[in-house]
Structures are given as C-alpha cells and as structure tokens.
Amino acid sequence: MSLRATARIAADAGGRLPLLESDGPLAVRRTRATDAYTRVTVVGAMSAPLGGDRLAIEADVRDGARLLVDSAAATVALPGRAAEPATYDVRLTVGEGAALRWLPEQLISADGSDLRMRTTVELAATARLVLREEQVLGRHGEETGTLTTRLTVRRAGRPLLDQELAYGPGAPDGWDGGAVLAGHRATGQLLVVDPAFEEKPVEPRLLAENAVLAPLAGPAALVTAVASDALGLRRALDEALRELAPF
C-alpha cells in the first residue's frame, strides 16, 4: 500500500517553532544548534519513498527567523509494489530578513526505483538561502534507478532558477555521457542566495576538478559538481559552502 504523508515546519524569529508536525515516515525533531540558527532534523521513521509513495515536506521561515534543516541519514529511493513512480515534494518559503540553510543528507537512487522529486522555493527580497542537493546513483555495486529532480526558485515574485535533471533507465539518452556525468555516480549542487551578491557578484570559475561556480541573474550563486562517490561530492560542496555562505 502506497503512503501519503506531509511533514510541516514553521519558524519564527527568536528561535520559536510554532509548528513542527511529523507524518508517516517523515519525523521532524528540534535538535541542538551550535550557532544562531534554530535547528530541525528530519529523521526517517521507516523505509521510504517506495514506488507509488507521495511524500512532502513544507518549511515556512517567517520574517526575521533563522532556520537550519538537516537530516539524520540519507534518503534511499526504493522500488515498491506499485507500478507508478514515487514523488517527493519539498516546499520552502523564506520571509523578509529571514535565513534558511537547507542541508539534507544525500538522496540515493537504488536499482529498480523510480522517483520524481520537486523542490519549490519562494524567497522574499531580503531573504537568504543555502540549499544543497546531492544525488547518489545506485548503492555500492548496483545500477541506478530512475531519478528526475526539478528545482524552482522565485525571489520577490520573480523567477531566479528553474532546472530539471534526469538520470537512469527512464531518462533521455546521453545522461551518462561525457557532456553530463561522464561516468560519475554522485552529482549535486549548492545554491546560495544572498542580497550581498547585488553589490559584489561572484565570478564564474572552477572550484575543483569537477565543480564549477556560476553567478545567477540575481543575487545568487550556483555550484554544480560531480564525483565518483558521495564523499568526494560532499567535500567539493563543503568547500564551496565555506566560501560562499558565511552567514
């Protein structure tokens, strides 16, 4: 039987969490923070997403709030009894003067799985955002499943970024070719939105052998990286995070 579950988080200024609602396999817990951010950790309560599951998580970071969301472990997309793909929707809203650091662990696409993941972000004009996405294509020694991800970001009501990526047996031909992954099995990106970039935009450049930094048409920077494994990917994105997001 397929699951339908939505977890919800709301953060106010001053470290208050007026809403922290878990559902099904998505358990959200307030955890200890080491800086000015309120920290919430997503803990998987069961194996998910499986084929046919409909999962979602929503976070509303209200004016002046500072929220860090991470996860206790990687998310593993698995095949299920249902023939249709699983879906996982992430919906984020960040208000005026607020900051969100969205730093989950990797998403692993297991052999035989089929997942459609959609992340939608609405930012106020003075909001700041750090968002990391990492995909590992297959567990150790196995082929990848089918994975489609879409990231849509709007700032002050205007489009900032809208991109879709697809990997695996159900993806268009060429996804594993030299112009895309070139045989790598870990890929990811780091998006940083900061009004400070309006005064001093980042310069496009290579950050590592397989990571590139590009400014966006707005106060934002996007790092895209590939690596042979999850550890190499995390190292590349962590290096970029230290440089781009001191807030």
- Give the domain ranges of the chain: 4-196
Distance of CA 156 to the CA centre of its chain: 21
Residues in the chain: 247
Beta bridge partners of 99: 66, 128
Distance, in Å, from the CA atom of 129 to the CA atom of 131, rounded to the nearest integer, reads: 6
Mean pLDDT confidence for 87-96? 98
- Triad 50, 54, 60: Cα angle to 5°: 125
What 3 state SS string does 9-53 have? Answer: EEEECCCEEEEEECECCEEEEEECCCCCCEEEEEEECCCCCECCC
**Residue range 27-81, pLDDT digits in tens:** 999 999 988 999 999 998 667 799 899 999 999 999 999 999 999 999 999 998 7
Q: What is the mean pLDDT of the chain?
A: 93
**Residue range 119-140, pLDDT digits in tens:** 999 999 999 999 999 999 999 8
- Within 10 angstroms of residue 175's Cβ, the number of other Cβ atoms is 18
Distance, in Å, from the CA atom of 236 to the CA atom of 247, rounded to the nearest integer, reads: 19
Mean pLDDT confidence for 85-102? 97
Q: In the predicted model, is pLDDT for residue 157 greater than 80?
A: yes
The structure tokens listed for 159 are: 């489009």
